[in-house]
Chain A
Amino acid sequence: MTQPFPFRKVYGPAAILAAITAYGLLSALLGGGVWDAISWVALACPLVVIARLLGRRGRTTK
């Protein structure tokens, strides 16, 4: 009846996004040029994820 908390399922994607975001935030701080570009790409990731999740069609329930 009880199952272990599905830690990976619940927090896994969040942890990956957190790592990408942190990398993006630091990259532009460390340098210009390429470092800035890496930062833009990394920080765009969570925003793209939001757009895709909200834009998904035909998923009214899980």
Chain B
Amino acid sequence: MGNTQSSMSARTVRAWYRIHKWTSLACTAFLLMACVTGLPLIFSDEVTALIEPHVAPAPALAGATAASLDRMVVEAQAKFPSLHPFGLSWDEDEPRIFVNMSPSAEPKSGEIRSVIFDVHTGRLLEIPKGGFSLLEFLLNLHRELFLGLLGELFMGLMALSFVISLVSGALVYGPFMRRLSFGTYRRGAVNRIRWFDLHNLLGIVTLTWAMVVGATGVMNALSTPLFGLWRAQTLPKILEPYRGNPVPSHFGSVDSAVSKVSAALPQMKVSSVLFPNEVFGSPRHYIVWTRGKTPVTSRLFTPVLVDVSTGAMTVSGGLPWYLRALELSRPLHFGDYGGLPLKIIWALFDVALIAVLVSGVYLWLSRRRASVEKELDRLVKLESVPEGVMAQ
């Protein structure tokens, strides 16, 4: 009886409860680590500015033109004769350009050395010292547990488990809360009830944020395979006409590649250049990454390939939908797209999520065997039970 009127049967609720329990248990430890390491990572820019002060570029004069990139690359090469030019990247906030040098096409974390130049004067500003960086350490732990792609995919699986635990948690929230008013917090009650209230309250209020950060976490974890997929679909076609030709050992001018791309795509801004690279790029092209100039399009990148020997340009026609989705999901994971106030809000949500995780662990550790499921059955059937869910 009653099942026709309650929205879920007791059996369904029990199943969702078990799903909530097991998916939560599977991911809690890693999620806790991700929340704790993620907290300082939200403020990466601020922390970097604080602990690694940098030499400021000269204020740009009106009509200042860009200095030669080729000369910067030569100068960076002279500073690191044993490394190869890996790529260039433009600073989003200041007129600075990073010339990145690497020992191989597939550098490991910490192997890239940057030489920073002033975009307009071309003056070498500084060479950040390599070695240990706390933020890089935290990011590596957060993203891949120091295990490379395997760790990245594992963390993606944990994020997926978290998303399932959120959905199932929201579903069992209903039966648990049917006799309580929204946001009930019984501060004077015994520990278990207080933690139970806290878990429900924080969980339901932060649900949407947690879903977005969890789902974008899954997306981010797939970025390496997704970019690999795009590369595998696109590059063979572009490289087909070159079949049999030797891979060029001398690269033509980056300056002319960049200005050609800027002229061809006036609505875009060049954000980085990847030098010939047989792992992430093309062995015979500069990949010039461009982005739009409006708030939305600035998150969408379009790569342009420029042949390093002939200077011929191939516009790939934009990225496929799954990489567009990935690009849009990045800011929604990092929380770095709305100034410092948004970062602070992000950090507060993160702390609330930590409390949800800790209270969840407490509820599991303090469980009385099978009683939660019995309690759920009772609530679903609405037998006349005394008030006080979860109380003994």
Contact = CB atoms under 8 A, between A and B. Distances in A.
B349 A47 contact: yes
A25 B180 contact: no
Nearest to A54: B185
Contacts of B388: 61
A13 B184 CA distance: 12
A21 B209 contact: yes
Given A10-B174, A53-B183, A61-B388, A29 B205 contact: no
B181 interface: yes
Contacts of B240: none
Contacts of B202: 50
B2 interface: yes
Contact of A40 (B184, B209, B341): B341
Interface string A22-45: 100101111110011001100110
A60 to B, nearest CB: 3
A28 B2 CA distance: 46
Nearest to B188: A60
Kindly state the interface size class of chain A when it binds its partner: 35 or more
A44 B307 CA distance: 50
Most buried by A among B6, B170, B173, B187: B187
A50 to B, nearest CB: 5
A32 B208 CA distance: 22
Given A1-B382, A49-B205, A50-B202, A36 B338 contact: yes
Contacts of A14: 170, 173, 182, 204-205, 207
Contacts of B345: 40, 43-44, 47
A31 B297 CA distance: 10
Centre residue among A3, A12, A17, A50 by max chain B CB count within 10 A: A50
A3 B187 contact: no
Interface in B132-187: 170, 173-174, 177-187
B348 interface: yes
Contacts of B352: 47, 50
B189 interface: yes
A14 B1 CA distance: 29
Contacts of A18: 207-208
A32 B174 CA distance: 37
A7 B338 CA distance: 35
Interface string B364-388: 0000000000000000011010011
Nearest to A14: B204
Contact of B177 (A10, A22, A59): A10
A52 to B, nearest CB: 8
Contacts of B226: none
Contact of B187 (A27, A44, A47, A59): A59
A36 B183 contact: no
A6 B208 CA distance: 22
